[in-house]
Amino acid sequence: MEHMLDSGNTAWMIVATMLVLLMTIPGLALFYGGLVRQKNVLSIIMQCLLCVGAASLLWVAFGYSWVFGTDFMESGHPLGFLIGGFDKVMLEGITINTVTATGIPEIIFVLFQCMFAVITPALILGAFAERIKFSGYLLFTVLWIILVYLPTAHWVWGGGFLQQMGAIDFAGGTVVHVNAGISALVMAIMLGKREDYKIGTPITPHNIPYVFMGAAFLWLGWFGFNAGSGLAADGLAANAFLVTHLSTCAAAMTWMLIDWIHNKKPTTVGVCTGAVAGLVAITPAAGTVGVLGAFCIGIISSLVCFAMVAIVKAKLKYDDSLDAFGVHGIGGIIGSILTGVFATQAVSGEGGVQGALYGDWHQLWVQIITTLVSIVFSGVMTFILFKVVNALVGIRADHRVEEEGLDIYEHGESAYN
């Protein structure tokens, strides 16, 4: 059946795609870049730029086909469990007139999904900031996209076994945040602490206005991330927009209050971090929860992520430099599970999913299983990839490089001259 082009949906999805790109560059680059010391800010920017370039090329070459292709699945090929197929390699068969069910050109869907493949590996870099070789990061990122991101995206979004089981991940709670957050934790532990890192004493950010600007770009871009994931300009997009903003506000204000009580001062970095935790946690739920769910998910994610960042990290003595696991991993896990609690047919529609709060415990178990699969797969694969990449090119920066700064040694540049 041929679908008719819908210009309203198409226009919105072009804007949403641009908003998601805005999250990586400049959003994440500024957010993470401001949190590190000035000798390492360009290394963060370079790592974000690498993710945009490498992930986009891999995605169009074969990534889109592996996630959303169908020939392996339809033919019963044994690899059909991991990938969809090779029928859309280099966008084979997709023309400017190929239209999806929501009336947008498939090319726009390809690009929109590409931006998710771009930001996911970029989130990981916050865990090992200030101590990784660029060559090691490059090889790890390319292999991680191919062997971790693409199979997970296929399972949850491309018709794989988790989607068939009924998993809800509206905009990337498991595929993006749990996936990246667990990899971040594994990488941080295996790389070891920064040489001058003292447990329980955060290293002072070099530029807090950068952190604010990055958080602001992330907040803005996230409306494309979540409200765009319904692939149409409709009431579902409007609801996703609303609950994304509410969850973020609830999380930011909660973090501010805990900061005030715990550290005696409400901080800019704290509010920005809380906002990101709220954005992360509402992501899988944005297509199925209403106002109550948004408030609860925002508050709960902020409380738990704060505890991970301020208390648990120091107790377990790992150096997650910019709290990629504490915010993205934990926020993603909370959001993914709470989707199974707060999902409501008032948003998902008559006959749609609803969560444990409304009497359907089945969805909660599906969400827990999906989350556990993501955690185990991401953790095991990252461990293997670390070993492989470390043996081939090495991952940890040399002592002298780390001491003097990655910017000047790795890239021959200084941010502030």
pLDDT band at 138 (very low <50, low <70, confident <90, very high): very high
Res. 243 pLDDT band, cuts 50 70 90:
very high
pLDDT mean over 390-410 = 95
Residue 1 lies in a domain: no
Using a pLDDT cut of 90, give the percent of the chain over it. 93
CB 245 within 8 A of CB 43: no
Q: Give how far Cα 47 sits from Cα of 32, 77, 264, 276, Å.
A: 11, 36, 35, 20
Structural tokens at position 25: 């560059």
User: Does residue 59 form part of some domain?
Assistant: yes
Instruction: Please write the tens of the pLDDT for every residue from 262-277.
Output: 999 999 999 999 999 9
Is residue 174's pLDDT more than 90? Answer: yes
pLDDT band at 197 (very low <50, low <70, confident <90, very high): confident
pLDDT of residue 208: 97
Q: How confident is the model at residue 351 (pLDDT cuts 50, 70, 90)?
A: confident
Contact 275, 251 (CB under 8 A): yes
| More confident: 413 or 1 | 413
Query: Does a structural domain hold residue 417?
Result: no
Burial of 391 (0-12, 13-18, 19+ CB in 10 A): exposed
Q: How many CB atoms lie within 10 A of CB 315?
A: 9
Inform me whether the pLDDT recorded for 200 exceeds 80. Answer: no
- The reported pLDDT for the residue numbered 17 is 98
Instruction: Give yes or no for residue 1 having a pLDDT over 80.
Output: no
**Band (36; pLDDT cuts 50, 70, 90):** very high
| pLDDT at residue 196, rounded to an integer | 85
What is the C-alpha to C-alpha distance for residues 26 and 322, in angstroms, rounded to an integer? 17
Rounded to an integer, what distance in angstroms lies between the CA atom of residue 406 and that of residue 155?
37
* Residue 74 clears pLDDT 90, i.e. is over it: no
Query: How many domains would you assign to the chain?
Result: 1
Cis peptide before 78 (omega within 30 of 0): no
pLDDT of 203 above 90: no
Given CA atoms 246, 250, 255, 256 in this order, what sign does their dihedral have? positive
Instruction: Please spell the DSSP secondary structure of 202-218, one letter per residue.
Output: PPPPS-HHHHHHHHHHH
pTM, 2 dp = 0.96
CATH of the domain at 355: 1.10.3430.10
Rama region for 332: left / alpha / beta (φ>0; ψ in -120 to 50; rest): alpha
Asked if residue 193 is part of any domain, the answer here is yes
Tokens representing 300 are: 């709960």
Give the domain extent around 298.
7-411
pLDDT for residue 198: 84
Which stretch of DSSP H or E encloses residue 335? helix 330-342
**Where does the pLDDT of residue 143 fall: very low under 50, low under 70, confident under 90, or very high at 90 and above?**
very high
Give percent of the chain with pLDDT exceeding 70.
Answer: 100
Q: What is the pLDDT of residues 248-264, one digit of tens each?
A: 999 999 999 999 999 99
**Per-residue pLDDT at 346 exceeds 90:** yes
User: Measured between alpha carbons, how far is 219 from 286 in angstroms, rounded to an integer?
Assistant: 14
Residue 2 located in a structural domain: no
**Predicted confidence (pLDDT) at residue 314 exceeds the cutoff of 80:** yes
139 in any annotated domain: yes
Mean pLDDT of 187-200: 90
Checking if the pLDDT of 199 tops 90, the result is no
What pLDDT sits at residue 283?
97
Backbone dihedral angles phi then psi of residue 6, each to the nearest 5 degrees: -110, 110
Amino acid at 285: A
> What integer pLDDT is reported at residue 201 of this predicted model?
77
pLDDT at residue number 43: 97
* CB-count burial class (<10 Å; 0-12, 13-18, 19+) for 178: buried
Query: What is the pLDDT at residue 130?
Result: 94
Q: Tell me if 147 is assigned to some domain.
A: yes
Token pair belonging to 172: 């990337």
